[in-house]
A = this chain, B = another copy of it.
Amino acid sequence: MKTFQTVKGMRDFSPEEMEKRQLVLDTIRGVFEKWGYLPLDTPALESFELLAAKGGGGEEVKKEIYYFKDQGGRELGMRFDLTVPTARFIAQNPNLVKPFKRYQFGKVWRYDRPQQDRWREFQQTDVDIFGSSSPKSDAEIVSVVCDVLKNLGFKEFTIRINNRKLVESFIVSLGITDFVDVFRSIDKMDKIGKDGVASELKKKKVSEKNIKSILKFIGGKIVPELEGKEELKNVMEEVASLGFLKNVKVDLSLIRGLEYYTGCVFEVSLGGKVSVAGGGRFDNMVEKFGGKSTPAVGISLGFERIVNEMERRKMFNVSKKKVFVAGVNDDVRKNVISIADSLRKSGVLIEIDVMDRNFRKQMECASKKKIPFVVIVGPKELKDKKVVVKNMESGNEKKVLIKNLVNYFV
């Protein structure tokens, strides 16, 4: 008999995995909502023209995404991020009340070479503010992400922050016109180190003196009086007011690729260099997609990395109250059902037999499903209006009055 596989680079999530993933999603969502962000949802498919517009990549993009023509001949692609669809939404809806503070959760698809922890389908969790150019909005985005990480249980994390205007104006002040080429080298700092950056810049014919100045600048703590300094200062002041100064530090070497960022950029790490989120200000994107000029700032949380890291650190404690209500024979079925019903109404997660199994098999099932408590319903105890509660871990059993059962678990 033919068996079928999952599509290459994609995976199923079993209930055990999904409970953890949902816990993370629920926590992130809860924090986003408390800060006044509302959910947005957009389709999995977008016109290829839209997807190709982002990087100005055009045909090149086809290699990196799931691209196809539908039966009507439309060129479509599965979305590779949530920012592009949102920017399209904003462009199509020019009258949204500003600031438009939205979060979006959803799968995205990339035709990457599958490798360790890199999948062709993965979950994204984005938060953005559209319509505000104030440093207060940069600071709020940074702070809401700090609050998310705190609520997920991370004790130590750092958001590095920089303002690309600052680096740009510094490089230009040195008399270098092609600042983008210099950006490209600085961006490799984490990978190739200071010396690597220096030798790259040398190859790019940057003078020894300028290389020295650049390295001093990006490694420095003192921000010179240049365009973008005031903005960065205002962001940091607001971050301090919001109570997250200890988690946020200025890093003048942070570039975050050559993509669409126009001001502040952010990179979030959990100690060490593993990035779990990144973002920045992208004031030109909505306009690029045909909308009104709309400043924007946001962060995309690396959901998959966060889940992996929480797993690795054993931070998951999915502690929902689960109870199996088992009947010792078929005569007590109605009692099993009514007890299950009253526990369910109090918010306990209840499972009862749906297999016509005898008592022993029911106990086995509860054990295999790792359900922590079994309520045993038998005729003898029922006469005293009681049931037996068995703690499946310790094996302890205790008689409990049915009317007290809800309090026992809630």
Contacts and interface: CB of A to CB of B under 8 A. Distances in A.
A404 interface: no
Which bracket fits the contact residues of A?
A: 35 or more
Nearest to A32: B349
Contacts of A7: 43, 45-47, 74, 76
Contacts of A71: 63, 111
Contacts of A107: 44
Interface in A31-73: 33-36, 38-47, 49-50, 53, 63, 66, 68-72
Given A131-B355, A134-B355, A4 B91 contact: yes
A213 to B, nearest CB: 34
A8 interface: yes
A356 B44 contact: no
A334 B136 CA distance: 12
Most buried by B among A69, A78, A351, A365: A351
A177 interface: no
Interface string A379-398: 00000000000000000000
A338 to B, nearest CB: 9
A5 B47 contact: yes
Copies of this chain, complex-wide, total: 2
Contact of A11 (B13, B43, B111, B341): B43
A164 interface: no
A39 B15 contact: yes
Contacts of A63: 71
Contact of A39 (B2, B22, B85, B369): B22
B36 A351 contact: yes
Interface in A120-137: 121, 129, 131-132, 134, 136-137
Nearest to A147: B344
Contact of A21 (B41, B85, B134): B41
A257 interface: no
B39 A18 contact: yes
Interface string A97-129: 111011000010101000000000100000001
A341 B22 CA distance: 25
A1 B290 contact: yes
Given A10-B43, A39-B22, A44-B44, A98 B34 contact: no
B36 A349 contact: yes
B33 A349 contact: yes
A281 interface: no
A12 interface: yes
Given A21-B41, A290-B2, A320-B33, A356 B134 contact: yes
B98 A355 contact: yes
A283 interface: no
Interface in A364-378: 365, 368-369
A54 to B, nearest CB: 11
A337 interface: yes
27 contacts: A1-B287, A1-B290, A2-B289, A3-B92, A4-B53, A6-B46, A12-B40, A12-B85, A12-B92, A19-B38, A33-B320, A34-B347, A34-B348, A36-B322, A36-B349, A36-B350, A36-B352, A44-B78, A44-B107, A45-B121, A68-B68, A97-B365, A129-B354, A134-B356, A136-B355, A137-B354, A241-B334
**A-B CB proximity, top 7 nearest:** A36-B351, A68-B68, A15-B38, A3-B290, A10-B43, A18-B39, A137-B354
